[in-house]
Amino acid sequence: MPFAQSINHSQALKMIQQALAEKRLDVEHIPVVNAMGRVAAADVLAPIDVPTMACSRMDGYAINTALFRRGDRVVANSEQSGTWRLSLGAAVHAQRQTAPVLCGEQAIPIMTGGVLPEDADAIILKEQVELTEEGIRFDQLPSRGSHIRPRGSDLKAGQRVLKANTPIQAGMVGVLSSLGLAEVAVYAAPKVALMVTGDELVQPGADCGPGEIYDANAPMLQNLLQTMGCQVAVLSPLGDTEEAVRQRLSEMADAACDLIISVGGVSMGDKDLIPEMLAELGTVLFHKVRVKPGFPLLFGRLGGGLFFGLPGNPVSCYTTLCQYIWPAIRLLNQQNMAVAQWRAVLTHEVKKSHLRREFMRAHFDMGHDGLLQVSVCGDQQSSRIESLAQANCFLVLNESDQDLSEGSSVLIQPFAAWRMV
């Protein structure tokens, strides 16, 4: 079957979006405390008011200002000195209330969060009174309602507090918990199968003989995918033989995965068997994208899952995972697929002699003028894994072949953006 070849970046994203149009993640109910970084699968309405009862916002004294306004004698001496005096009742703390409390003609010491006495209409702050033998003395009458948190002033029962398809942050974990909710409905973490390919690969910790190299990609990509909120199964590395690849892809066609990711073996080498095997056992949707690094990227379907074949060079697979698989994960979670982009000032000249979009590994920080500045992290060969460890962003160069001069305003994509929330 014919498939798209050597397409550009936005065409690749469009095809990924089309392939995902019908896909939906399951919904699961999880403890609220574990919901950070997940995406709400349904609206949540407040089951109760917060606070559930009027209470004090500060440490102080609850009083009934109506008494003063009537000019009752119980609050004597005001005529002479402009000073108010009250005796004290038993204190109210932030705890379960066993019996209703009234101020009457007294001031009730009250702590932050303490339930407001039934007849109180203001709190006077601790620092605004003077303690006397008889109680307290103060010069200024607080206005009605001061330092009181009315019932439902934060959240009202029935109000929508969480909208479906919204990512859940720590603050929302707090809101849901304040409503007494212990569980929340979220999209199930995308199930991802990750496999590296290559006869030369050896696992870190084992001996590495001549011609062999340590597998850097599986550990790196596993971490990246987990940060993106995926449930990752790392499969054993695949040898570069037709039998091995055919058998593994046949198994994967029956596995219940949302995404199947292979690394290596998608280029022009004799042992780059993945494109051919995907065409045989699944469907190739596109092969090769005019970007740098990551040109040989392969995309298609296998069984019920979407298949990404990433190039094996560490920088290429890291970059293509960020640029193409992250948008797919976002779409699965009903999020938009746009990557956060900021502007920064280039600290040095950058030469560009090709017409592909390029994602350079770069480092940004804040310059003396308070603006973001960015510098490329050394040699940009896709085999140079060290550039990844130094970098904190991609510097994005568009499809033009223009060099960029020092001081140019450029687009960067902070690595910190590649998480679910």
How many CB atoms neighbour CB 273 within 10 A? Answer: 21
If the CB atoms of residues 40 and 220 are measured against ligand AMP, the closer one turns out to be: 220
Binding of ligand AMP by 215 (CB under 6 A): yes
CA distance 278 to 309: 9
How would you class 21 by CB atoms within 10 Å of its CB: exposed for 0-12, middle for 13-18, buried for 19 or more? exposed
Binding of ligand AMP by 278 (CB under 6 A): no
Binding site for Mg ion (CB under 5 A): 198, 264-265, 312
How many Cα atoms are found within 13 Å in the side-chain-facing hemisphere of 114? 25
Please name every residue paired with 108 in a beta bridge, in sequence order, or none if there are none.
Answer: 62
Binding of ligand AMP by 293 (CB under 6 A): no
- According to DSSP, the β-strands at 122-125 and 60-63 are antiparallel
Binding of ligand AMP by 265 (CB under 6 A): yes
Dihedral sign for Cα 246, 250, 255, 261, please: positive
CA distance 43 to 53: 25
Of 195, 214, 196, 194, nearest in space to 204 by CA: 214
If the CB atoms of residues 6 and 77 are measured against ligand AMP, the closer one turns out to be: 6
If the CB atoms of residues 186 and 278 are measured against ligand AMP, the closer one turns out to be: 278
Tell me how far the alpha carbon of residue 308 is from its chain's centroid: 23
Binders of ligand AMP among 382-421, rule CB under 6 A? none
Of 304, 306, 310, nearest in space to 274 by CA: 310
Residue 68 region by backbone torsions, left for phi larger than 0, else alpha for psi between -120 and 50, else beta: alpha
Binding mask of the shown chain, residues 295 to 324, with x at each position contacting ligand AMP by CB under 6 A: ----------------xxxx----------
Residue 213 touches which of Mg ion, ligand AMP, none (CB < 5 to 8 A by kind)?
Answer: ligand AMP
Q: Measured from the CB of residue 421, what is the shortest distance to ligand AMP in angstroms?
A: 29
Q: Measured from the CB of residue 325, what is the shortest distance to ligand AMP in angstroms?
A: 16
CA distance 20 to 16: 6
- According to DSSP, the β-strands at 135-138 and 84-88 are antiparallel
Residue 215 touches which of Mg ion, ligand AMP, none (CB < 5 to 8 A by kind)?
Answer: ligand AMP
In this structure, what are the phi and psi dihedrals at residue 68, rounded to the nearest 5 degrees?
-70, -40
Q: Measured from the CB of residue 278, what is the shortest distance to Mg ion in angstroms?
A: 15
Q: Measured from the CB of residue 151, what is the shortest distance to ligand AMP in angstroms?
A: 59
Residue nearest to ligand AMP (CB): 312
Q: Measured from the CB of residue 215, what is the shortest distance to ligand AMP in angstroms?
A: 4
Q: Measured from the CB of residue 202, what is the shortest distance to ligand AMP in angstroms?
A: 10
Give the interface size with ligand AMP as a residue count (CB under 6 A): 18
How would you class 127 by CB atoms within 10 Å of its CB: exposed for 0-12, middle for 13-18, buried for 19 or more? exposed
Q: Measured from the CB of residue 368, what is the shortest distance to ligand AMP in angstroms?
A: 39
If the CB atoms of residues 264 and 314 are measured against Mg ion, the closer one turns out to be: 264
One-letter amino acid identity for 331?
L
Which residue in the set 109, 167, 229, 264 belongs to the binding site for ligand AMP (CB under 6 A)?
A: 264
Binding of ligand AMP by 201 (CB under 6 A): yes
If the CB atoms of residues 314 and 327 are measured against ligand AMP, the closer one turns out to be: 314
Q: Measured from the CB of residue 310, what is the shortest distance to ligand AMP in angstroms?
A: 8
Binding of ligand AMP by 198 (CB under 6 A): yes
Please name every residue paired with 155 in a beta bridge, in sequence order, or none if there are none.
Answer: 50
Write the CA distances from 71 to 74, 128, 134, 143, 420, integer angstroms: 8, 21, 19, 15, 61
Looking up tokens 């956060």, which residue turns up?
A: 340
Looking up tokens 């190739």, which residue turns up?
A: 284
If the CB atoms of residues 22 and 270 are measured against ligand AMP, the closer one turns out to be: 270
If the CB atoms of residues 54 and 201 are measured against ligand AMP, the closer one turns out to be: 201
If the CB atoms of residues 64 and 313 are measured against ligand AMP, the closer one turns out to be: 313
Interface residue list for ligand AMP (CB under 6 A): 196, 198, 200-201, 213, 215-217, 263-265, 267, 269, 272, 311-314
